[in-house]
Amino acid sequence: MTTETILSSTRNQEQYHSQSQHWRELDEIRKSGMKNFRNIQVDESNILTWQGLIVPDNPPYDKGAFRIEIIFPAEYPFKPPKITFKTKIYHPNIDEKGQVCLPVISAENWKPATKTDQVIQSLIALVNDPQPEHPLRADLAEEYSKDRKKFFKNAEEFTKKHGEKRPVD
């Protein structure tokens, strides 16, 4: 066996292990009946990209749902997934492009033992409870901190206008 053959075989085993881990985690999430992450879609040919709906419980986001995309790098679980909001959201920690400031998936905080459901729970907690001290949108963080009533009104109107329809139980 050549070194190249061994490396190729090792890469294939790592890919297989990574893919089977994704399927396992996806299966666990679907079976758990998580109410705040629904309608999970995965392309059978690309297990590294998931889409689903974040369904917040708390005002002002409880008037809609938000489609997110989770992209897992080939090096997962050694590198964190990337989460992007595909539905616009009025939130200090999520920018206009849908990028999220979520500490659990930052390069410096990521731990390979972290499971996808923990990442999703952290994301839901952030949506339900904005962190204005770590903003991606300073204007919304300021509004949230200085005039919570106005922020809630604006966020609720924005959610009604741009949010996805909430799934029915």
C-alpha distances (whole Å) from 109 to each of 63, 128, 135 are 32, 21, 17
Partners of 124 in beta bridges: none
Examine the residue annotation and report whether 101 is marked as an active-site residue of this protein. yes
The DSSP-derived string for 93-134 is TB-TT-BB--GGGSTTT--TT--HHHHHHHHHHHHHS--TTS
Tally of residues, the chain: 169
Rg over alpha carbons for the chain, rounded to the nearest Å, is 18
Q: Catalytic pick from 101, 104, 125, 136?
A: 101
Catalytic residues: 101
